[in-house]
A and B are shown apart, each in its own frame.
Chain A
Amino acid sequence: DGGITQSPKYLFRKEGQNVTLSCEQNLNHDAMYWYRQDPGQGLRLIYYSQIVNDFQKGDIAEGYSVSREKKESFPLTVTSAQKNPTAFYLCASSIGGTESNYGYTFGSGTRLTVV
């Protein structure tokens, strides 16, 4: 079945360490997105990519980095510069272009906790 896989489901990080969250899709979608969700709040856009080897900052990109070397993969690195990284992270994809207005497909998320 086609879908988006995020791994790991739970991740613990020590302060000062970088950590990378994985996001893989087999939907042949061009566009991919990373959102952050804090308790009781909506989703905020971190980074997005419309095509391989290209990505743009979202609303809260500081302290994060991404790469898009393959169409299927859009990993997110939470760096030590992110002051409050504990959150739930959601990856999503869409067909791309005007077809994206049909909405996104989401992964099941990664819960990151800084200990």
Chain B
Amino acid sequence: AQTVTQSQPEMSVQEAETVTLSCTYDTSENNYYLFWYKQPPSRQMILVIRQEAYKQQNATENRFSVNFQKAAKSFSLKISDSQLGDTAMYFCAFMKHAAAGNKLTFGGGTRVLVKP
């Protein structure tokens, strides 16, 4: 079974600065997908960014980028130019390629607080 670990329960960052969230996962699969989801105080889950394991290029979405290290099974999220609206729980998630059910396995989450 796949496991996803987020080792930082909480992080704080000053507005306009950069913060990096770590995520490691354990799998024997070669093809899979990785995701970062954001859960603001409203508790609505929002997809932030997605990475395909067979693509070496790191995914980027505006101020959000990832550092995907396949050999190390590491998938960190960098938030640049942090904004107050980035305050949220962030979850790393894993999905096997072409697996029955396409189930997402989530890490325990990192709470990010952006300070003015």
Contact = CB atoms under 8 A, between A and B. Distances in A.
Nearest to B1: A59
Interface residues of A, number: 28
Interface stretch (B14-22, B70-78, B95-103): B95-103
Interface string A82-112: 0000001010101011101111101011000
B102 A94 contact: yes
A64 to B, nearest CB: 16
B interface secondary structure, majority: loop
Given A56-B101, A98-B98, A103-B50, A90 B45 contact: yes
A48 B95 CA distance: 14
A58 to B, nearest CB: 7
A98 B6 CA distance: 27
A108 B105 CA distance: 19
A65 to B, nearest CB: 18
A103 B35 contact: yes
